[in-house]
Chain A
């Protein structure tokens, strides 16, 4: 059953049907060299692959299985608990004991005029616990000066606010009395 048979009477326009016009327009043949060009092009193409995944090559399946097994082994190794994990290369660093103490500001003065304590200014010394290393003996190595500065900062910030204030006693100011000389008015006509 051709197209025209399937559609019965073809519509006619200007004496020929649309299909006849289209068939005439498409009745074009390629040039005689066309097949030769295609063959040349195909000859230049790289040889198509001999196997595909769908072809079920045993080597393909073997490689796939090996890859899956490798991935599984890596996943198991990664997911194991790291109880025996050690820090490699820790011996390369020389452990230093951090200074156990850090001094806070030596004296804190209180102003007796403001009702503060009349006790002599006291000195508060912050004593820092020496850094204890972890159970496994590993130590964290921190520069000594950094440790001292950090501890001093922490000790200062933990003091009560009033104690942290340093108030200097005020000295009474002496004000001289103001002396104003009396006005002297001269006689009339005298130019001042």
Chain B
């Protein structure tokens, strides 16, 4: 433990974390600087976004959490070197997306190697059979999209992002986002029909 070992053991630390205490709050007991508090704020702000982006690719809750956690760890390692902290969100989105794609490929390779049936996407227990089938078809269609269309339509449907926000997250012009979303929706319509 880097800093917390000075004040608490691992079990106590886990209890502190599980109880919702933030890095900054723990740091008040010790020596966390402003950088960690800054990162903590961004972690709280972007955790759901990172998780959903990962989930849109791997479609497995535990895998998505692992991917998001890995992305945050990587972000923390390079957080000090990030010149423009306002671009953290966009950087995290791209990092999470790439990590999720890697995890998806890894899962597919492992499944092919073990000749196991790929685990179906998680669906709520109370969801109807028809809804499950519809969701399965939707994910299959999204998987068939080219990657640039796929990430655009996923971001546009997460957390109410508007076009400008999607453009900022992807680092592309708004017009490009519009055209990608248009073609993505057209393609999805074709695939779902």
- Interfacial residues, chain A to chain B (CB-CB below 8 A): 1-3, 6-7, 11, 13-14, 18-19, 21-23, 25-26, 28-31, 33-50, 52, 54
Contact = CB atoms under 8 A, between A and B. Distances in A.
Contacts of A47: 2
Given A7-B181, A31-B65, A52-B81, A43 B13 contact: yes
B22 A48 contact: no
Size band of the interface chain B makes with A: 35 or more
A11 B80 CA distance: 45
Interface string B65-86: 1001100110011111101000
Contacts of A23: 157-158
B1 to A, nearest CB: 6
Contacts of A52: 80-81
Contacts of B23: 39, 42-43
A19 B51 contact: no
B179 to A, nearest CB: 11
A30 B47 contact: yes
A23 B159 CA distance: 9
B129 to A, nearest CB: 14
B61 A31 contact: yes
B52 to A, nearest CB: 5
B2 A44 contact: yes
A183 to B, nearest CB: 103
Given A33-B18, A52-B80, A11 B189 contact: yes
B103 interface: no
Which of B18, B64, B78, B178 counts the most A-chain CB atoms under 10 A from its CB? B18
B45 to A, nearest CB: 11
Given A13-B192, A29-B51, A38-B68, A48 B76 contact: yes
A49 B82 CA distance: 12
A71 B166 CA distance: 49
Most B Cβ at <10 Å: residue of A7, A13, A43: A43
B18 A36 contact: yes
Please provide the 7 A-B residue pairs with the shortest distance between their CB atoms, ordered closest to farther.
A36-B17, A30-B51, A3-B156, A22-B157, A48-B80, A36-B18, A23-B157
Given A18-B192, A30-B48, A41-B69, A11 B185 contact: yes
A35 B25 CA distance: 14
Contacts of A22: 138, 142, 153-154, 157
B55 interface: yes
B55 A28 contact: yes
Contacts of A25: 135, 138-139
A154 B166 CA distance: 87
Contacts of A43: 1-4, 13, 23
B141 to A, nearest CB: 9
B170 interface: no
B193 A40 contact: no
Nearest to A3: B156
B29 interface: no
A41 B157 CA distance: 29
Contact of A2 (B77, B160, B188): B160
A30 B68 contact: yes
